[in-house]
Amino acid sequence: DTAVSQTPKYLVTQMGNDKSIKCEQNLGHDTMYWYKQDSKKFLKIMFSYNNKELIINETVPNRFSPKSPDKAHLNLHINSLELGDSAVYFCASSPLDREGQYFGPGTRLTVT
């Protein structure tokens, strides 16, 4: 009965590789997000999808591309990985009101 799930939990890969992180929510929420958390715990929003439409696209490199096959899923594809991409990536979802966001457990990406 996990609300927001992400896979994988850990991802270790080499520079230049392409990888994907999957996210699914079973809360029936309309909006999903991707955040990046750096080593100092600072959270930065990357993308947001509302009913499969991109509504926020912060200034992230175009090597990052979100894909939402349906309202319950928002996957993150990363091409040509770089050392600076190493971080924890969190998926989240929220309803369309004044409620907060519900976060997944995170994916720790390490690029070597």
In the complex, the residues that contact another protein under the rule CB under 8 A are 4, 31, 40-43, 45, 48, 50, 55-56, 90, 92, 94, 96-106
Q: What is the C-alpha separation between 35 and 90, in angstroms, rounded?
A: 5
Taking the least distance from each CB to another protein, the nearer of 60 and 79 is 60
Contact between 54 and 47 (Cβ < 8 Å): yes
Residue 104 has, within 13 A of its CA and on its CB side, a CA count of: 31
Taking the least distance from each CB to another protein, the nearer of 70 and 97 is 97
Taking the least distance from each CB to another protein, the nearer of 13 and 50 is 50
Least CB distance to another protein at residue 80 (A)? 27
Q: Which of 34, 36, 35, 30 is nearest to 53 (CA)?
A: 30
Least CB distance to another protein at residue 52 (A)? 14
Contact between 49 and 71 (Cβ < 8 Å): no
Question: Which token pair is 44?
Answer: 């930065």
Taking the least distance from each CB to another protein, the nearer of 52 and 79 is 52
Least CB distance to another protein at residue 47 (A)? 11
Least CB distance to another protein at residue 15 (A)? 25
Residue 83: phi and psi, rounded to 5, are -55, -40
